[in-house]
Amino acid sequence: MKFTVAGVGPGDPELVTIKAIKIIKDADLVLAPYSPHGKFSVSEQIVRSNLPDIDIVPIVFPMLTDPKEREKFLINELERIFASWHGVENVVLPVIGDSVLYATGSYLFDAWRKLVPDLELSLVPGISSHQFASSRLSSFLAMGDDLFSVIPCSKNSDGIIAALKRSDSAALYKPSILKGRLSDVVSAAGPWGRIVRVDRAGLADEKIYEGNEALEQADEYLSILLLRRSK
């Protein structure tokens, strides 16, 4: 069986590649990642905007950081939907953004191999959130010999600061993780010529914040902070 993780872009349904749509359309089974709270899947919304009549099976992805607990949860989910994928040849998981960058499909693939050891992995790239967010600002991410960094936020504030200090420009993924420490972390690695935060990029309720407002505590999970030094 082949398992394909297809990036379907940051949220704008027009920013999906022709290849991703073809792969999804031709799949034997299309899964949609849901949160444990049952919220509507953004990736499913994007797919249905392009393929409104396609059949999609929901699969819950846990908000867990412990690898063993996360894998156990996903294996239970795969066993729950066993009848959907047993005996099929091609399964596709559409994910927002790019399939090779912080994509949850990686966790599902590792868990699935415990049940299907010879599971084959295929990746279809998509447009990342930081690319789209920068385009919404009509701003280039990096030029010439600029050092551009993509940094996932975590509890390791010192590591984030160290990475930012080495960067001319950067994209901070999931700044909500830093909570009230966001401003202190970014300021410690400054000065910055431009600071912009984009929440829910490409979706109908997209919001853009600049300067100090962008450094206020971010509660939105689908959020990205773009930083660029003055030159």
Q: What is the DSSP string of 75-138?
A: HHHHHHTHHHHTT-SEEEEEESB-TTSS-THHHHHHHHHHH-TT-EEEEE----HHHHHHHHTT
- Examine the fold and report which residue of 92, 124, 156 is the final residue of a domain before the chain moves on: 124
- The pLDDT value recorded for residue 38 is 63
Do 117 and 138 belong to one domain? no
194/188 Cα distance (integer angstroms)? 15
Q: Is 154 helix (H, G, I), strand (E, B) or coil?
A: coil
Distance separating alpha carbons of residues 71 and 76, to the nearest angstrom = 9
Residues 105 and 179 in one domain: no
Q: Which of 62, 66, 97, 65 is nearest to 78 (CA)?
A: 62
Q: What is residue 39's predicted lDDT score, i.e. its pLDDT? A: 66
User: How many domains would you assign to the chain?
Assistant: 2
Q: Are residues 104 and 133 in the same domain?
A: no
Same domain membership, residue 104 and residue 13: yes
Domain check: are 108 and 184 in the same one? no
- Together in a domain, 143 and 190: yes
Among 124, 149, 164, residue at a domain's last position: 124
Same domain, 115 and 142: no
Sequence-separated (6 or more) residues with CB below 8 Å from residue 99: 5, 6, 7, 105, 123, 124, 125, 126
Report the C-alpha gap between 77 and 73 in whole angstroms.
6
Please give the residue range of the domain that contains residue 95.
Answer: 2-124
Torsion, Cα 94 96 101 105, to 10 degrees, reads: -40
Same domain? For 112 and 25 the reply is: yes
Together in a domain, 137 and 220 = yes
pLDDT score for 70: 95
Based on the domain organization, do 141 and 100 belong to the same domain?
A: no
Considering the domain architecture, whether residues 116 and 137 belong to the same structural domain is answered as no
What is the structure's pLDDT at 217? 87
**Per-residue pLDDT for the chain (231 aa), expressed as one digit of tens each?**
999 999 999 989 999 999 999 999 999 999 999 987 766 788 999 999 999 999 999 999 988 889 999 999 999 999 999 999 999 999 999 999 999 998 889 999 999 999 999 999 999 999 999 999 999 889 999 999 999 999 999 889 999 999 999 999 999 999 999 988 999 999 999 999 999 999 988 888 899 999 999 999 888 888 999 999 987
pLDDT, residue 204, reads: 83
